[in-house]
């Protein structure tokens, strides 16, 4: 009896091995969005670090750095992350639909 919460097959030495063989290669759009997401997160982090550099020697907290980081992550990186997740889910649904007809 299979439970919905059961993530692996007890008889398989590698529970993910059957998933790797059936996955279609990532579409160029997914790869582009993933690379853009990584670049955006790195750029936001570097910008936040750059704005905090003048405050490193002092006793003032770099509020502008925190604002840049939080605003960048919430308003730029999060929508991009949600779009990336939607692309992955649509690809997964496409693979699932192809497997039903076979």
Predicted local distance difference test score (pLDDT) of residue 79? 96
pTM for the model stands at 0.67
Cα(49)–Cα(43) distance, integer angstroms = 10
Instruction: Please report where in the chains the tokens 């692996």 appear, as a residue.
Output: 8
Sign of CA dihedral 35, 40, 41, 47: positive
* pLDDT at 58 exceeding the cut of 70: yes
Q: Structure tokens of 18?
A: 């059957």
Distance CA 15, CA 23 (A): 14
What tens digit of pLDDT does each residue of 7-50 get?
555 555 555 544 444 445 678 999 999 999 999 999 999 999 99
pLDDT in tens, 71-92: 999 999 999 999 999 999 998 8
For residue 60, the model assigns a pLDDT of 86
């Amino acid at each position: 009896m299979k439970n919905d919460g059961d993530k692996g097959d007890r008889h398989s030495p590698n529970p993910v091995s059957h998933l790797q063989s059936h996955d279609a290669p990532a579409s160029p759009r997914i790869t582009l969005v993933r690379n853009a997401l990584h670049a955006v997160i790195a750029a936001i982090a570097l910008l936040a670090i750059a704005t905090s550099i003048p405050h490193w020697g002092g006793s003032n907290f770099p509020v502008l750095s925190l604002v840049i980081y939080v605003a960048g992550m919430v308003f730029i990186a999060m929508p991009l992350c949600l779009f990336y997740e939607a692309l992955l889910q649509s690809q997964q649904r496409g693979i699932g639909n192809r497997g039903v007809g076979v």
